[in-house]
Amino acid sequence: MTGTQMDYAIFKWINDLAGSTPWLDGIMGFLSQDAEYLFYLGIIVYWFTRKRENRKMVGESLLSACLAFGIGNILSHWFYRNRPFVTHHVHLLIDHAANASFPSDHSIGAFVIATSIWLFRRKAGSLWLLLAAFISFSRIWNGVHYPADVIAGAILGILSAAAVHRLFIRHPIASRAMSAGLLVYESIEQRIYPKRNKEAA
């Protein structure tokens, strides 16, 4: 059995479970279509805690996402792959355009943010990684990605986050540039919306 055949066999085994349990299909539909917004909300909440460490984490996650999606876009053209529902008869539970299947953008986005959080906050990051894994699995369940698509997306997201984090640890110039950028932003923010002093409260 070739790698492609094994990939399809695993896809079919998972996707054949879809459509038989309405409540589970509903959860998978939410994970595939709406759960990504939890990551966006999380990033916004972390940013507006106004803690410097959280803002560094958010900054790294955004830079990592740019890197990961940039590489993913290149790969999607170099190794173009049709969606499962284009090539095979599948249980398609959500609407989706018939565009490139490899790698999974949802997996890239979920894992790059989750990994960035994990690198700063292990406990919270573990929960985000678990959510990222559920989102990726749901994309197979709903018939829009093969297992290899979501695995590649996850690996790309994880490696991009790790590479960017290492860059800021190993190269003081990058770290200083991040700190300088945050300092400028925070000085402007302080004028618009002064941070409340706990002692004065």
Q: Residue 200 falls within a domain, yes or no?
A: no
Q: Which has more pLDDT, 41 or 201?
A: 41
Residue 127: domain span: 3-81+94-192
- pTM for this one? 0.92
CATH code (residue 180)? 1.20.144
Q: Residue 197 falls within a domain, yes or no?
A: no
- Burial label for 22, CB within 10 Å (0-12, 13-18, 19+), is exposed
Instruction: Please give the average per-residue pLDDT across 159-165, as a whole number.
Output: 98
Q: How many domains does the chain have?
A: 1
Query: Using one digit for the tens of pLDDT, what is the confidence trace for 24-69?
Result: 999 999 999 999 999 999 999 999 998 999 999 999 999 999 999 9
The beta-carbon contacts of 73-82 under 8 Å, at least 24 apart in sequence, are: 75/102, 75/103, 75/152, 75/156, 76/100, 76/102, 76/103, 81/146, 81/149
pLDDT band for position 200 (cuts 50, 70, 90)? very low
- Distance in angstroms between the alpha carbons of the first and the last residue of the chain: 68
Residue 25 tokens read as 């299909």
Q: Computed over its alpha carbons, how large is the radius of gyration of the chain?
A: 20
Beta carbons of 154 and 112 less than 8 angstroms apart = no
pLDDT of 105 strictly over 50: yes
User: Alpha-carbon torsion 116, 151, 136, 103, what sign?
Assistant: positive
pLDDT of 201 strictly over 90: no
Q: What is the mean pLDDT of the chain?
A: 93
pLDDT of 150 strictly over 70: yes
Q: What pLDDT is recorded for position 58? A: 97
